[in-house]
Amino acid sequence: MNIDEILYNLARKASKKGEIPVSAIIVKNNKIIAKAYNRKNKTKNILDHAEIIAIKKANKKLHKWNLSDCIMYVTLKPCSMCEQIINQTRISKIYYYLEKPDYKKEYSNVKYLKLDNLEFKSSYQQLLSDFFKKLR
């Protein structure tokens, strides 16, 4: 079975379960290490997009968060949330089949408000700085 067939079958499975039919596969060294489909309606968890579930499975299988040696295949171009998470994993390439329709806008009502406690900011900045100095 090839990647196209696996992705299609996973998406069809999601659709039958009342989920948006999106599926994802993660590959390392030409071997599938994780596959998933959307499950947020079943789990009632907004994070249960196919891409994120596949990433969690790959993390568990490889015992690491850095997936820079992996490739992702997904049926629909990832949403902004998934895109940011994929970026954090360092996955090097994402192959997708379809773009989202033009009328499909991502909902956002977030307002960022900067806090201005100078004492906290100074202490926290030092904490961050010290942490990264220890890493290097």
Q: Provide the annotated active-site residues.
A: 51
CB contact at 8 A, 77 and 96: yes
Query: Among candidates 3, 11, 24, which has minimal Cα distance to 83?
Result: 24
Full DSSP string of 52-86: HHHHHHHHHHHT-S--TTEEEEEEEPPPHHHHHHH
CB contact at 8 A, 62 and 46: no
- Return the H-helix or E-strand segment holding 6: helix 3-16
For 124, phi and psi rounded to 5 degrees?
A: -65, -40
29, 53, 18, 46: CA torsion to nearest 10: -150
